Copies of this chain bind each other. A is one copy, B any other.
Amino acid sequence: MARLHLHLLSDSTGETLEMIAKAALAQFDHSEVNRHFWPMVRSRQHLDRIFDEFKANPGLVLYTLVNEEIRDRLEERCRSLGLPHVAALDAVTAALEERLEQEAKGRPGRQHALDDAYFARVDAIQFTIAHDDGIGWENWEEADIVLAGVSRTSKTPTSIYLANRGYKVANIPLVVESPPPPSLFELRHPMVVGLTTAPDRLIQIRRNRLLSLNEKTETDYVDQERVKTEIAFARRMFADNGWPVIDVTRRSIEESAAAVIKLYQEREARAVPPRVGTKPI
Contacts and interface: CB of A to CB of B under 8 A. Distances in A.
A22 B125 contact: no
Contact of A38 (B64, B129, B253, B277): B277
A102 interface: yes
Interface stretch (A25-33, A176-184, A215-223, A226-234): A25-33
A40 to B, nearest CB: 6
Copies in the complex: 2
Contact of A157 (B1, B105, B106, B126): B126
Given A23-B89, A28-B97, 20 more contacts: A4-B100, A13-B254, A13-B257, A14-B258, A18-B281, A20-B92, A21-B92, A22-B111, A23-B111, A26-B113, A27-B104, A28-B104, A28-B105, A38-B277, A39-B261, A62-B92, A86-B95, A87-B91, A113-B252, A125-B160
Interface of A: 1, 4, 12-16, 18-30, 33-40, 53, 57, 59-60, 62, 64, 66, 84, 86-93, 95-102, 104-107, 109-114, 118, 122, 125-126, 129, 132, 154, 156-157, 160-161, 163-164, 250, 252-255, 257-259, 261-262, 265, 276-278, 281
